[in-house]
Amino acid sequence: MPEITINLAAGRTDEQKRGMMADITAALVKHLGVDPEVVVIQINEAPLSHKMKGGKTYLERQAKT
């Protein structure tokens, strides 16, 4: 069974995440020939203050824009 884990900074809607997971499931069905019932997708979300890039948290980076 294919199992996909996705790490994201928090902030996307449930609708966006559901759409992404549906598209990934469809891609696995198409390219791997698996049944959608065996595809497992898990999203791990981190608060913007708990994720850092370039020495600044995502919250700090967001404040600059």
Which residue out of 2, 11, 19, 47 is catalytically annotated? 2
In the block, which residue shows the tokens 């913007």?
48
Q: Say if CB 44 and CB 7 are below 8 A apart.
A: yes
Q: Please indicate whether residue 2 is annotated as part of the active site.
A: yes
Q: Say if CB 24 and CB 2 are below 8 A apart.
A: no
List the end-to-end C-alpha distance of the chain, in Å, as a whole number: 41
Q: Which residues are catalytic?
A: 2
